[in-house]
Amino acid sequence: MKRRALLAVAALAPGLARAQGWSPDRPIRWILGFAPGGVGDLSARLVAQKLTERLGQPVVVENRPSAGGIVAAEAVARAAPDGHTILLMTTTDSTASAVYRQLPYHLLRDFEFVSRMAFFDHVLAVGAQSPYRTLGEFIAAAKTRPGSANIGSVAVGGAQNLGAELFRSMAGLDMTVVAYRATPDLLNAATSGDVHLVSEILAPVLPQLAGGRMRILAIAAPRRFPDLPEVPTAEEAGLSGYVVRSWNGIAAPARTPRAVVDRLGAELAHALALPEVRDRLLELGVQPAPGMPEAFRVFVAEENARWARVVADASIPRQ
């Protein structure tokens, strides 16, 4: 991780030299499309502190929660392209493009892509009282009794909910997807047995795991999570190709100078390579994953197309 980050900084060296003249005379507003307190907010604030130290200018996190993160994204899309306003772009921005018929911005045209920041792995989990010890056992039981099982998630049209729809489709199961208003409601339903399987990001499940209230059957990632080496991937658990990862990164308004984009990307890579940042993110269930602007743009385009297919296959009405 450290080596990749340092190589990324080295590759950006010419851009950094040109960016030395970029010295904002006011704070940089980092706009988030959700409320304070969640793992995404905590991650951004941790990184913002390091960016502030490196840039010598306050990077102020500003929360603008709304459905689909639309309010935050629109605010940044319409901001001056001078490096003073940036967006924490997330999976929600990609799912919003798939779920909503019309948005007040175009995700691929109205932003400059700076860098992906991190992955938030999703898990498939059950309450501690569940009879299922493996994902294979759950799938086999659900196939034996069609229509008897359910899978719970939060936020219809969000990544967790679409991940549940994708699981149902890929596993070939006749089961109900139940959407809850908030994660605590979902986890309580799992521990009480009202929900048979949970599709959620790792972070809020970790305390339940530590307290013995839930079990993780599989992590929906290409590789096992470093701090949970005993938990298999969905592929290892028998569901080939099932990868569902939320993510976030930095974007700026379209036409933001490339030198500014490069400087921000390099400083983000530097921050994520710091041991204290990486270790804290892993504690939160988050894996650092910086990259180049062009790669981030391609990644977001692929995510948009992927979630659009999931929405269409699940016959989820567009809003």
Q: What tens digit of pLDDT does each residue of 6-52 get?
A: 444 444 444 443 444 456 678 999 999 999 999 999 999 999 999 99
User: How would residue 273 be classed by pLDDT, with cut points 50, 70 and 90?
Assistant: very high
**Distance (Å, whole) CA 164 – CA 176:** 10
Task: For residue range 230-256, list pLDDT tens digits in order.
Answer: 999 999 999 999 999 999 999 999 999
In this chain, the answer to whether the domains covering 2-120+245-313 and 121-219 adopt an identical fold is yes
Which CATH entry fits the domain spanning 2-120+245-313: 3.40.50.300, 3.40.50.2300, 3.40.190.150, 3.50.50.60?
3.40.190.150
Torsions phi, psi of 283, nearest 5? -60, -30
- Strands 111-127 and 85-90 come out as unpaired
How many of the other CB atoms lie within 10 Å of CB of 108?
13
Locate the DSSP E strands across the chain. Answer: 28-32, 59-63, 85-90, 111-127, 150-154, 176-180, 197-201, 214-219, 245-253, 286-288
CA 208 to chain centroid = 20
**Distance (Å, whole) CA 245 – CA 85:** 26
Task: For residue range 147-181, list pLDDT tens digits in order.
Answer: 999 999 998 888 999 999 999 999 999 999 999 98
Task: For residue range 175-189, list pLDDT tens digits in order.
Answer: 999 999 899 999 999
Q: What is the pLDDT of residue 4?
A: 52
Domain boundaries, the chain: 2-120+245-313, 121-219
The pTM of the full predicted model, rounded to 2 decimals, is 0.86
- For residue 179, the one-letter residue type is A
**Distance (Å, whole) CA 88 – CA 264:** 13
What fold is seen in the domain 121-219?
D-Maltodextrin-Binding Protein; domain 2 (3.40.190)
